[in-house]
Structure 1
Amino acid sequence: MSTKVNLVALGGVRENGKNMYAIEVDDQIFVVDFGLKYPDNELLGIDIVIPDLTYLEENVDRVSGIFLTHGHADAIGALPYFVAEHPVPVFGSELTVELAKIVTKSDPRAKKFNDFHVINDRSVIDFGDVKVSFFKTTHSIPGSLGIDIETPVGQIVYTGDFKFDQSATANYQTDYARLAHIGENKVLALLADSANAENFQQSASEHAIYDYIDETFRYHTGRIIVAGVANNIARIQQVLTAAAENNRRVVLTGQDVEKIVKTAIKLGYINVPSDDLFAKTKELKELAPEQTVILETGRMGEPLKSLQRMATNRHRMIHIHEGDLVFLTTTPSHAMETNVAKTKDMIYRAGGEVKAISDDLKSSGHANKADLQLMFNLLHPQYVLPVQGEYRQLAAAAEHAHEVGIPFENIFISGLGDIISYDQGKMNAAGHVDAGNTMIDGIGVGDIGNIVLRDRKMLAEDGIFVAVVTIDRKKKKIVSKPKITSRGFVYMKTSRDLLSDSGDLVATTVQKNLDNKEFDWGHLKQDVRDELSHFLFDQTKRRPVILPVIMEVNQNSTKRQ
């Protein structure tokens, strides 16, 4: 009986973040990465977005393990929402596992989960006909590993986030020999990081980035507020080193960055250059501006909202003022550009100034065109699945693969839930499984759908319009005149005629329903909504959320009482 392999992207394709891929070998499922993504501006009120876990939950008895490539949120952030109910084993490098533990223990539902297994680039895990091994890659966090799943029909290789940097330090170096060794045997399919595939330029080396940070610290005479991602360990190390070199002390703001930095220090992945480098927030008033660096990563590693609070004096500890430099050390995604521009404007209004590494250096933790093509040439994959990127990025990676000799018919740009199946010596598209977004809002998981988001969008754009009426259904009359209330729609004091006409329309509509022999509460409320909606749109060209409130009294029984 021939081995059947299915490759299913449950997240991470045609989008940024939320990486999760199911590799099925006969009756076993190997899940690589388990990430989340941060919502774009249209997802009003949503905290994070995770993949739809339905397929894995329905097949949990077949899941042999979850294999994590690195400790960023786009690779580990969705873990608590699955392992709380389905305690399958989780594998990752030492730092990746420690960061994954922080993520799971922060969620009350998953804090008891502890089936973690630390592996390294020399580990081989035997699952019978399948063996899983790992190889070192270069990314912005140490302990990053690619994954090699060896099956009877060839190897399935997942790069995880990677780039090639010849000057990378020991904890970040790629194992080129191991990659070449994998490529000597049959690589059936390669799932390749495509997040930076559109970039044809060489990214700046980490040495060049450190020099840029050091120069910024040396020549700015005021406070420096460094905005970055909490688990970008490479950047945090550069900030700490540059601060020590320039006689500055570092204040960490936020529990996320403190936990991550302490964990990385404990494991030896961050070197603290001096004993008195860190200062507490209560020492800020005593520190001279030229001696101060504030490292701000924000809640869940997202610094922009924190910077906005600093600029508008709503942050609990830090307020931006004249002479402050806000130093953006992480390249924002295209989806965040509007928010970044808004944040910069707020900082300048507060008297600060902004400097961003991305303005002067091409910086990325992901493979550019040359890196991808080198990976293709090292591994010689028969089939390529570009992953980790929006469609245009996946398409760019496909072009790069074709340029090194891989035919287009062997390159699959899959969508969420698409099954790419290898059977009888050929790989083809073979159906679809349920996949999509599960939105997390507060403690709610998946209880926010398109209808709720539509209502939130309408409330944000056109406000709410409330009509309250009291009726006596037995006497078929309106007891009190309709009362109209509006929030976020029109200014009530200057719109009295509109509100008065709306009240008359509501009264007429309600009376018609009362006079109807077949009275129905549902029809009554829907008629009020429809009539008001048409009227308000004709008058204002806006569509507020309309909320009719109909109350019933029995006047005879009231008198008797």
Structure 2
Amino acid sequence: MYAVEVNDSIYVLDCGLKYPENELLGIDVVIPDFSYLEDHSDKIVGVFLTHGHADAIGALPYFLDKFPVPVFGSEMTIALAKLNVEKDNKLKNFKDFHIVNEKMEIDFGDVTVSFFKTTHSIPESLGIVLKTSEGQIVYTGDFKFDQTASSEYATDFGRLGQIGANGVLALLSESANDENPKPSTNERDIANYILETFKYHEGRIVVASVASNILRIQQVLDAAAQSDRKVVLTGHDLERIVNTALDLKKLHLPTDDVIVPFNKLNSLDKERTVILETGKMGEPIKALQKMANDPGKGIHIDPGDLVFITTTPSHAMETTVAKTKNMIYRAGGEVKAISDDLNASGHASKNDLQLMINLLKPAYLIPIQGEYRLLNTHAQLAREVGMADDHIFLTQKGDVLEYKNGEMHLGQGIEVGDTMIDGIGVGDIGNIVLRDRKILSDDGIFIAVVTIDRKKKLIIGEPKVTSRGFVYVNSSHDLLKESASIVTEVVQNNLDNKEFDWGHLKQDIREKISRYLFDQTKRHPVILPVIMEVNQHHRKAPVKAPKKVEEK
């Protein structure tokens, strides 16, 4: 997420999420910190989206929950954004979406917003131009240049030249792929590579892809039809995305029967089956691990299966991908990754980045979207095409660039961090909980301690409940108080039962507390009931005569 502030107006560019690093145990996703925007919410004009991937729209439900402002994007982007927002019950009535295209301009008074077509792995990706009195600010979003791209994906080079001729003050250009020394493979060659793989493998094929990579899904469908195979979609989210793309005619079925319902999977010949796996939240790697390790419910890897990884994982995922491949081989499958043979990235190569700079001729360059070393590589590429060091800004989270009196400089920064999402909890997970999770497992542990007098069928004092790695105790008093009440009720019901059983009591506590905590937090901590008993000996102890104590 990036914000451009012009006078008293803030223009938000993309609203995405990222997937957590390995050390963020149990965290589902990470979204931007909205603190600055909360302090200046009255200035927000709207959110302008470049494309429909999670890194551009994933945080939109959390954002709109705080700031119900207009959302602008292409038809495909808005359709996917709506699917994302509709998952939040609080936003079901939000309707302030606006479809734009590369021919439109929106006049906000002191700023005019326009758009230009870019090439990415999803149809109708757009770059954004903010025209101000001081010059144009250009935000590329994710892009690459591909001379063989079809009309739905082709970059409008003429429009880029026009934008450059009108004067670009600042260029915010992506940097995600600038370390890759290979030139980007064009999508026509990638399509042929997928078709070749489908034709020459004799068994079942499990294709791992990102759910919103519409271009890759189209290539898989085309290759399946040409190799006389049927495609089975896994997961409700994938079906929704595919159906949306079909309705908008951004995805085309080569034959009417190329997609087969999931419940028909077992009736298909393995030699003619393609399973399209995208995993939870559109990320397939963890789903592949489950398929390789879990022989129970769902799809599992069988001997002879080919797992075809058509996504290009980030550098941070390399260790996870290596472990996943090992699991697949142990299950008897084979692995083929498109990234091993081709540079199949949807992001700009070194040459692409330099060409973008030459087309737009910006006064200032701000490399974005990538670790610091990637931003630094982008800066070096800019120096190679003649940009001066003092006109290139390598920024970090919270940095603020100001343009005054004809010069851009680094201003006073703001304090921002990452907001971690776990279940329905937003920002309630901090370093203390994460430290405990490294020891106690993904969702932590919840402990309930209660003392009873079974003979008298009484609870001695209130139950004591606490947690480690589940919620931060100091900010969850109501949750713990209600949990203690549930423990009290469950224990008393078991004490009143004539057929008292210790095992049943502990299991009853686990089930009731687990259900309540999941309803409240959408998490499943380990529930540890600790039951202590007083008056355990029911026989009367012999009464001893008191000893005489002499007074001194």
TM range (shorter): 0.7 to 0.9
Within the candidate set 39, 47, 54, 1:73 is matched to 54
Within the candidate set 192, 196, 203, 1:215 is matched to 196
Q: CA deviation at 1:306?
A: 1.4
2:2: which partner in 1? 21
Q: CA deviation at 1:112?
A: 2.1
1:503: which partner in 2? none
1:533: which partner in 2? none
Provide the secondary structure at the position in 2 that maps to 1:170.
coil
Is 1:433 aligned to residue 399 of structure 2? no
Within the candidate set 262, 285, 302, 1:281 is matched to 262
Within the candidate set 326, 338, 351, 1:370 is matched to 351
1:259: which partner in 2? 240
Letter in 2 for 1:345: N
Is 1:84 aligned to residue 65 of structure 2? yes
Within the candidate set 283, 288, 291, 1:302 is matched to 283
1:151-195 superposed Cα distances (whole Å, 9 cap, x missing partner): 000000000000000000111000000000000012100000110
Distance in 1, matches of 2:364 and 2:154, equals 26
Distance in 2, matches of 1:358 and 1:212, equals 11
Distance in 2, matches of 1:126 and 1:351, equals 59
| 1:220-369 matches, cutoff 5 A | 220-313=201-294, 316-369=297-350
Distance in 1, matches of 2:158 and 2:297, equals 50
* Cα pair distance change 1:340/1:380, threshold 3 Å: same
Provide the secondary structure at the position in 1 that maps to 2:381.
helix
Distance in 2, matches of 1:146 and 1:272, equals 28
1:450-500 superposed Cα distances (whole Å, 9 cap, x missing partner): 111011113249x99999999xxxxxxxxxxxxxxxx9xxxxxxxxxxxxx
Provide the secondary structure at the position in 1 that maps to 2:428.
coil
1:196: which partner in 2? 177
| 1:438-457 matches, cutoff 5 A | 438-457=419-438
Distance in 2, matches of 1:280 and 1:551, equals 54
Moved more, 280-289 or 236-245: 280-289
Provide the secondary structure at the position in 1 that maps to 2:207.
strand
Q: TM-score, normalised by structure 1?
A: 0.79
1:376-397 superposed Cα distances (whole Å, 9 cap, x missing partner): 0000000000001000100000
1:414: which partner in 2? 395
Q: CA deviation at 1:432?
A: 1.0
* Cα pair distance change 1:338/1:112, threshold 3 Å: same
Distance in 1, matches of 2:297 and 2:155, equals 42
Distance in 1, matches of 2:124 and 2:433, equals 40
2:76: which partner in 1? 95
Q: Structure 1: which 5+ runs fail to align?
A: 1-19, 471-486, 488-546
On the 8 A contact 1:147/1:159 being kept in 2, the answer is yes
Distance in 2, matches of 1:191 and 1:369, equals 15
2:365: which partner in 1? 384
Relative CO higher for 1 or 2, CA cutoff 8 Å, sep ≥ 6?
1
2:500: which partner in 1? none
Moved more, 90-99 or 347-356: 347-356
Q: 4+ residue runs of structure 1 moved beyond 6 angstroms?
A: 463-470, 549-554
Q: CA deviation at 1:551?
A: 9.4
Q: Structure 2: which 5+ runs fail to align?
A: 452-467, 469-527, 541-552
| Alpha-carbon RMSD | 2.5
Q: CA deviation at 1:24?
A: 0.5
2:483: which partner in 1? none
Letter in 1 for 2:415: D
Q: CA deviation at 1:201?
A: 2.4
Q: TM-score, normalised by structure 2?
A: 0.80
Is 1:123 aligned to residue 135 of structure 2? no
Within the candidate set 14, 38, 59, 1:57 is matched to 38
1:34: which partner in 2? 15
Q: CA deviation at 1:58?
A: 1.6
Distance in 1, matches of 2:343 and 2:402, equals 37
Provide the secondary structure at the position in 2 that maps to 1:284.
helix
Q: CA deviation at 1:313?
A: 2.7
Q: CA deviation at 1:264?
A: 0.6
Distance in 2, matches of 1:315 and 1:35, equals 35
Letter in 1 for 2:167: K
Is 1:401 aligned to residue 376 of structure 2? no
Is 1:180 aligned to residue 148 of structure 2? no
Q: CA deviation at 1:552?
A: 12
Q: CA deviation at 1:293?
A: 0.4
Provide the secondary structure at the position in 1 that maps to 2:358.
helix
2:495: which partner in 1? none
Q: CA deviation at 1:550?
A: 13
Q: CA deviation at 1:315?
A: 6.4
1:108: which partner in 2? 89
On the 8 A contact 1:281/1:317 being kept in 2, the answer is no
Distance in 2, matches of 1:269 and 1:189, equals 32
Q: CA deviation at 1:100?
A: 0.2
Distance in 1, matches of 2:448 and 2:67, equals 47
Provide the secondary structure at the position in 2 that maps to 1:431.
coil
Letter in 1 for 2:150: T
Percent identity reads 64
Letter in 2 for 1:333: S
Letter in 2 for 1:320: I
| 1:495-514 matches, cutoff 5 A | none
* Cα pair distance change 1:57/1:466, threshold 3 Å: closer
